[in-house]
Structure 1
């Protein structure tokens, strides 16, 4: 999270209220504050006494890739799911994401925003176009059949993501992890999820430059490790 003072409590409550399959024995919640300066870090103090929550606060804003890699170092569970703190994604989809892993059908599951319709609610056409280009690039470069490469809802068996040697700092995390998973020969199973996009005015942080960075990342990791 970065500067999500208005959303973080609602996100945490939604995560804790999410219904999980009976096979899930416990859930740990790792909160990584990526150098917020709007009071988010101070708000997280109240969660430090919760034994199911780990709080990490960075002193500077490094980017999503760095924050995610930091969070992964704390993981002790069998499965990792990345959740942005912006309320665009619904924790009620956790059960659907977990099912292919529980049934032994997948080691990696992506929540696709496009399996329920052409363009999700709130997604600007520019973002839709960027998502389509990234999907096409990933499928051509890696022989995949993805509908949503850039989804934030990416779920992994822990040993898979910890073995990827991730290096990204910003939003290129998504294409890097996709490229490295596919190069390892892991099948990515997609399930439909809910999505409600937000505007820049509402706090959306990804910029058009990040789209070019994502394309370059997909291309780069096709040829290097």
Structure 2
């Protein structure tokens, strides 16, 4: 088994070098590659990535910023692993916990694994951010008769072929809701494992806004209205 860690990046020069190093320093139970897509950054991101010299790292630069969904889509097509997982460069999520997501796959308990945040590891996030995430997750559970605890988690691990077949169209943060809605519409219930979460503030670069929550609700409803999905 080979794992592809997909890292979309937009103006993350403050944490990028550390994020890349931490992903590569993890002891994985399988072969791994890191696919980094620079999504039109205007800071020092490109220079940091151009200086990376590790055969496990694949770097691509997009000329303009298109959004997280577009960057992840590009990374998924560059990935050569059997499985993929998304890991943002902002270090809100700990790369060291990725093997925890792999364990249910390696023991044949699941094909799709989500890292579920408990929102109790620190106090850097806002009340409305947490409530918004819970509201969107609740909507998904009601619409698809499921019981997941963290729809918006970045840590989503699944077969690379499955992710490509989902044909995620949303180019921004709406991709998180689209991925989950399409999985649930296929009858796939993610296996969840608890993870830690070190949220950053708006001043530190937090990009998600209330508009993304509204978009997520619309995406969930529209995919549910289409009925059960099928992939090839």
TM-score, length basis structure 2: 0.91
Determine which of 13, 20, 25 is the counterpart of 2:28.
Answer: 20
Please name the residue that 2:5 is paired with: none
Aligned to 1:39: 44
Q: Deviations over 1:159-204 (max 9, x none)?
A: 2111111101100000000011111122210000010100010011
Report the counterpart of residue 3 of structure 2 in structure 1: none
Q: Note the C-alpha offset of 1:152.
A: 0.8
Alignment correspondent of 1:106: 110
Distance 2:202 2:74 in 1: 26
C-alpha separation between the residues in 2 aligned to 1:182 and 1:75? 24
Q: CA–CA distance in 1 between the matches of 2:112 and 2:96? A: 19
User: Is the counterpart of residue 8 in structure 1 residue 16 in structure 2?
Assistant: yes
Kept in 2: contact 1:81–1:153 (CA 8 A): yes
CA RMSD of aligned residues (A): 1.3
Which of 74, 98, 111 is residue 94 of structure 1 equivalent to? 98
Give 5+ residue unaligned stretches, structure 1.
none
Q: Deviations over 1:51-100 (max 9, x none)?
A: 21110111101001101101000111111000111010001111110011
Length, aligned pairs only:
219
Q: Name whichever structure is richer in strand by fraction.
A: 2
Per-residue deviation at 1:122?
Answer: 1.9
State the partner residue of 2:166. 164
Contact 1:113–1:120 at 8 Å: present in 2 too?
no
Deviation at 1:140, TM superposition (A): 0.6
Secondary structure in 1 matching 2:51:
helix
Match of 2:71 in 1: 67
Question: Residue 184 of structure 2 aligns with which residue?
Answer: 182
Distance 1:172 1:56 in 2: 22
Q: CA deviation at 1:50?
A: 2.4
Unpaired segments ≥5 residues, structure 2: 1-8
TM-score for the superposition, normalised by structure 1: 0.94
Where 2:191 maps in the other structure, the secondary structure is: strand
Measure the CA separation in 2 of the matches of 1:102 and 1:79: 11
Decide whether the 8 Å contact of 1:171 with 1:206 is kept in 2: yes
2:59 matched to which residue of 1?
55
Aligned to 1:192, what secondary structure does the other structure show?
strand
After superposition, the Cα gap between the structure-2 partners of 1:46 and 1:119, relative to the gap in structure 1 and judged at 3 Å, is closer
Determine the C-alpha separation between the residues in 2 that align with 1:39 and 1:92: 25
